[in-house]
Structure formats: structure tokens, C-alpha cells
Structure 1
Amino acid sequence: MVTVKMLKPYYVKTEEKYIRIILAYQYFSIIMNKKVYQFIPVKSTEVRINRKTKKIENVDDVFAFQKGKEVLTISMSQLISIPGFLEMLHRIAESYYLPEDSQEVSEQQKALDQVIAEMEYENVRRLIDKAIDNDDKETFLELTSALNNQ
């Protein structure tokens, strides 16, 4: 029986369509027959996940693991069948997935952008009031110019 002892990405790279979880030597290890095997980057070095479908794209890749002089090769399709492996991967990748309803997100983003613009406008108005109170003509002219340009 094979189990995953540790799975940490060396780094995560996001692209338009994919999340690439890059693996490195001390960050990925498995246990097989009560022996711990460390990942070695001699064959495949990454897990490529589709950002929209959340599916692993490189299922044919082969990964190498080493204990002393003994080297094991395990395909991605075999790794997927190991209990907990997919959970670990999805926990790593979850913050990089694309939202399922991008239209809803864009509406929320528009509303958020509008609130921020209103807050910036109100802040400039308060700064103008402060410049008037402090008799600071230079700041007053600068801020009113900025306000008129919005």
C-alpha cells in the first residue's frame, strides 16, 4: 500500500488556463512497504491542473521516488488513486481556481470598484475641507484640481 507522507509545492505558478504545482526534492514523499521514498525530479516535476474544471491534465506523466539507491516510478494515474493525494492537491490549488460564475464575480467587482471610487471622492472632499481650515491654498488648489479631473 502506498500513502503520501508529505506533499508541499516548491512553488505554484498560475497561467490563464492552468495551475502548475511545481514539485522539488524535500517537499514530496511517499511511504511504501514502511519505507519513505523522496521525490526526485528526474522525470516529471509538476502537476498541471485546469483552473476551470479542477481536473489534473498531465495524468500520463511519471514521477520518480528514491530511497538510497532504490528508485520507484509512479504514474500520475497511480498517484491519483492514493487516498488523500487528490485532497492534498486541491487544498494547495483551491485559492487559484477560477470562479464558477465569473459574471457574478464581475458584478461584485464592479460594485466594489464603485464603493471604492465613492470613498476616494469623499476622502478628497474631506482633505479639501481640512486645507480650507488650515488656510493651505496650495493643497486646496491641488485637491480641487484632482477632484475636477475625476
Structure 2
Amino acid sequence: MISVKMLKPYYIKSTDDYVRIILAYQYFAVVINKKVYQFIPVEAKEIRVNRRTRKVENVGARFAFQKGKDIVYMTMSELLSLPDFLFQLHTIAKPYYDPLEEDSKVNENENAIILDELEQMNIKRLIDKALDDRDEEAFHSLVKLL
């Protein structure tokens, strides 16, 4: 099981098109199998979010996390599958989003998209649990929901 323990930007740089969230040591940590891994800026060092669409642009970026001599690499797409990462990321970037896009329909649509993503991830986790428990009936009923 993977979860985000801490996600704080080292600094944030905002341009016309992007919000760039720069990461550094001691500002980003994940918990993997009950062990805390600290971010190390070996490969990717930033998260780039489009100010208008509010989507992460550098989904192929690879982040490194270290605990002692053990180093674990995670791609941005893997991190985006974590609900707590998504929530914290949107909370950090929200003040920098394009103010012209702040009408209520956009906000409602964004919330619906985030909720849909979270529901899909939850279904996938339940499918994994059904496979682990060898619960064939639950597995088939959950697969139909995807």
C-alpha cells in the first residue's frame, strides 16, 4: 500500500501557461508498506500543471524516493493514481489556476472529474482485494462497473 505522507512545494513558479511545483529533500515523502521514503531529486524535480485545464502535463516524469540505501522510483502516473496525492496537488496549485476559468460550471465539472477518477481507482482497489481474497463473485460484479 502506498500513500503520501507529506507533499509541500520547495517553491512554486507560475507562468502564463503552467504552474510548476518544484520539489526538494524533506518536502515530499511517501509511505510504502509502512516505511517512509523521502523524495530525492535524482530524476524529476517538478510537477507541471496546466493553468487552464488543471491537468498534470509531465505524466511521464519519474520520481525517486529513498529510505537508507533502498531507492524506489515512481512515475507521475503512479502518483496520480493515489487519491491523497491528487487532493494535495490540487490544493497546492488551486491559487495559481487561471482566474478566467473560475466560473461555477468549470468548478462543478472539475469536481465531477476528480470524483469519477477517485471512484474508478476505488473500484480497481476493490477488484485487487477480491482477487486477493479469491472472491470470484465480487470480482465479476466489480469488473462490470469499470
Taking structure 2 as the reference length, the TM-score comes to 0.68
Describe how 1:85-104 pairs up with structure 2 within 5 A: 85-99=85-99, 100=101
Q: SS state of the match for residue 92, structure 2? A: helix
Structure 1 residues 113-132: aligned runs within 5 Å: none
**How far has the Cα of 1:84 moved from its partner?**
1.0
1:77-125 Cα deviation digits (max 9, x unpaired): 00000121111001001000002169xxxxxxxxxxxxxxxxxxxxxxx
Residue in 2 aligned with 1:123? none
Specify the SS of the correspondent of 1:3. strand
Q: Which residue of 2 aligns with 1:57?
A: 57
Whole-Å separation in 2 of the counterparts to 1:2 and 1:101: 33
Which whole-Å CA distance do the structure 1 matches of 2:77 and 2:70 have between them? 21
Partner of 1:132: none
Paired residues, number: 102
What's the counterpart of residue 130 of structure 1? none
Higher Cα Rg, which structure: 1
Map 1:1-150 to 2 at 5 A. Answer: 1-99=1-99, 100=101
Deviations 1:8-33 (A, max 9, x none): 00000001100000000100000001
| C-alpha RMSD of the superposition | 1.1
- Runs of at least 5 residues in structure 1 that lack an aligned partner in the other structure: 103-150
Match in the other structure for 1:148: none
* Deviant stretches of 4+, over 2 Å: none
CA–CA distance in structure 2, aligned partners of residues 36 and 83 of structure 1: 18
TM-score (norm 1): 0.66
Which residue identity is paired with 2:18?
Answer: Y
Q: Residues 72 and 101 of structure 1: is their aligned pair in 2 closer, same or farther, counting only changes over 3 Å?
A: closer
Gaps of at least 5 residues in structure 2 are 104-146
Amino acid at match of 1:22: I
Aligned to 1:110: none
Q: Which amino acid aligns with 1:87?
A: F
Paired with 1:19 and 1:79, the residues of 2 have a C-alpha distance of 18
In 1, the alpha carbon distance for the partners of 2:48 and 2:86 equals 13
1:15-64 CA-to-partner distances (Å, cap 9, x unmatched) read 11000000001000000011000000000000000000000000000000
Instruction: Measure, in 2, the Cα distance between the counterparts of 1:101 and 1:28.
Output: 29
Q: Secondary structure at the match of 1:24?
A: coil
